[in-house]
Amino acid sequence: MKIGIIGCAGRMGRMLAMEVMAAEGCELAGGTERPGSDAVGRDIGELLGQGPLGVTVVGEPERLFEVADAVIDFSVPIASARHAALAAGRGCGLVIGTTGLEAEHDEAILQASGRIPIVKAGNMSLGVNLLLAAVEQMARALGPSFDVEIVEMHHRHKVDAPSGTALMLGRAAAAGHAADLDAVARRSRDGITGARPQGEIGFATLRGGDVVGDHTVIFAGDGERIEIGHKASSRVVFAKGAVRAALWLNHRPPGLYSMRDVLGV
């Protein structure tokens, strides 16, 4: 399976490309970088320090979608929405790990999924996606009498908050309560906030250092508290999950899938 990488010269892009090269059953179709980048025009193998592969980094994503069976995109929301349309026009599968997507980006991706298979997840880690399933099940079993709080910490350079993973965990807990997260979420607290209403799902965001990603879900009841979480010590876990998702897309019908679909949970 020929897999391409959006933003192949960046830190995450390099990890993705290396993982594609190492994974069984796939080959690196190529990669893109922004026009004007020093990486454009270079052999992607030499860029990765692996020797020439005969595949050149391009500045026009259209060229990558023409030759790839699937493309992995960890870029920015507006670009991911545009890439979804490009992929749909060329019948290319797409894996989207971009965070910070807003309603208009999600709508563009949903429309494209009517023509091609797309896996979209705020976190590609296999462990996190198993955690999502566990959180939904626990929320359903415990009910809204147990208060739910989600604490996340990331490196100082992360630009969106709460993290996409924290919001995914919030949606999982809300699904377990048969509730709409937008209606019950409390994203910050400051000053005199009053008593905590039953059913609220709270978020706490921490930023600092080089933390790859820590997430903890707290179920706090009367007389007992349950904490369940995940800590990522390397971004390679996201690359491994994304490549697994790209391989899973092979011969899938059009549709919008999640990593839980990939894992079968």
What whole-number distance in Å separates Cα of residue 142 and Cα of residue 140? 6
| Residue 153: closest CA among 112, 238, 214, 228 | 214
Neighbours of 42 (CB within 10 A): 18
Give Cβ neighbours of residue 20 (< 8 Å, ≥ 6 apart). Answer: 3, 5, 26, 27, 28, 72, 243, 246
- Structure tokens, 36: 């004007």
Q: Which amino acid is at 31?
A: G
Q: Which two tokens stand for residue 243?
A: 């490549």
Just list the catalytic residues.
Answer: 154, 158
* H or E element that contains 148: strand 147-154
Q: What angle do CA 246, 109, 260 make, to 5 degrees?
A: 45
Please give the Cα distance from 184 to 93 (Å, whole number). Answer: 35
- CA dihedral in degrees (171, 175, 181, 183; nearest 10)? 180
Alpha-carbon distance of 227 to 218, in angstroms, equals: 5
Residue tagged 């179709």 (tokens): 29
- Rounded to the nearest angstrom, the gap between the alpha carbon of residue 4 and the centroid of all alpha carbons in its chain is 17
